[in-house]
Chain A
Amino acid sequence: DTEVTQTPKHLVMGMTNKKSLKCEQHMGHRAMYWYKQKAKKPPELMFVYSYEKLSINESVPSRFSPECPNSSLLNLHLHALQPEDSALYLCASSQDLGRTNTGELFFGEGSRLTVL
Chain B
Amino acid sequence: AQSVAQPEDQVNVAEGNPLTVKCTYSVSGNPYLFWYVQYPNRGLQFLLKYITGDNLVKGSYGFEAEFNKSQTSFHLKKPSALVSDSALYFCAVRDNTNAGKSTFGDGTTLTVKP
Is B15 at the interface (CB under 8 A from chain A)?
no
Count of chain B residues with Cβ under 8 Å from any Cβ of A? 25
Count of chain A residues with Cβ under 8 Å from any Cβ of B? 30
Is B99 at the interface (CB under 8 A from chain A)?
yes
How many angstroms from the CA of A45 to the CA of B96 in the assembled complex? 18
Is A104 at the interface (CB under 8 A from chain B)?
yes
- Contact B99–A99 (Cβ < 8 Å): yes
- Contact B43–A90 (Cβ < 8 Å): yes
- Contact A105–B88 (Cβ < 8 Å): no
- Contact A42–B104 (Cβ < 8 Å): yes
Residue of B nearest to A43 (CB): B104
Is A66 at the interface (CB under 8 A from chain B)?
no
Is B22 at the interface (CB under 8 A from chain A)?
no
Over the window 93-107 of chain B, the binary record of Cβ atoms lying under 8 Å from chain A Cβ atoms (1 yes, 0 no) is 010110111101111
How many angstroms from the CA of A6 to the CA of B45 in the assembled complex? 15
> What's the minimum C-beta distance from B10 to chain A, rounded to whole angstroms?
11
Contact A42:B43 (CB < 8 A) given known A99-B96, A102-B51, A104-B34: no
Find chain A residues with CB under 8 A from B106 CB: 41-42
Find chain A residues with CB under 8 A from B88 CB: 40
- Contact A98–B99 (Cβ < 8 Å): yes
- Contact A56–B90 (Cβ < 8 Å): no
Write the residues of chain B forming the contact surface with A, with a CB cutoff of 8 angstroms: 32, 34, 36, 41-46, 49, 51, 88, 90, 94, 96-97, 99-102, 104-107, 109
* 13 CB < 8 A contacts A-B: A2-B45, A40-B88, A40-B107, A42-B107, A45-B102, A56-B100, A92-B43, A102-B49, A103-B94, A104-B34, A105-B44, A109-B43, A110-B43
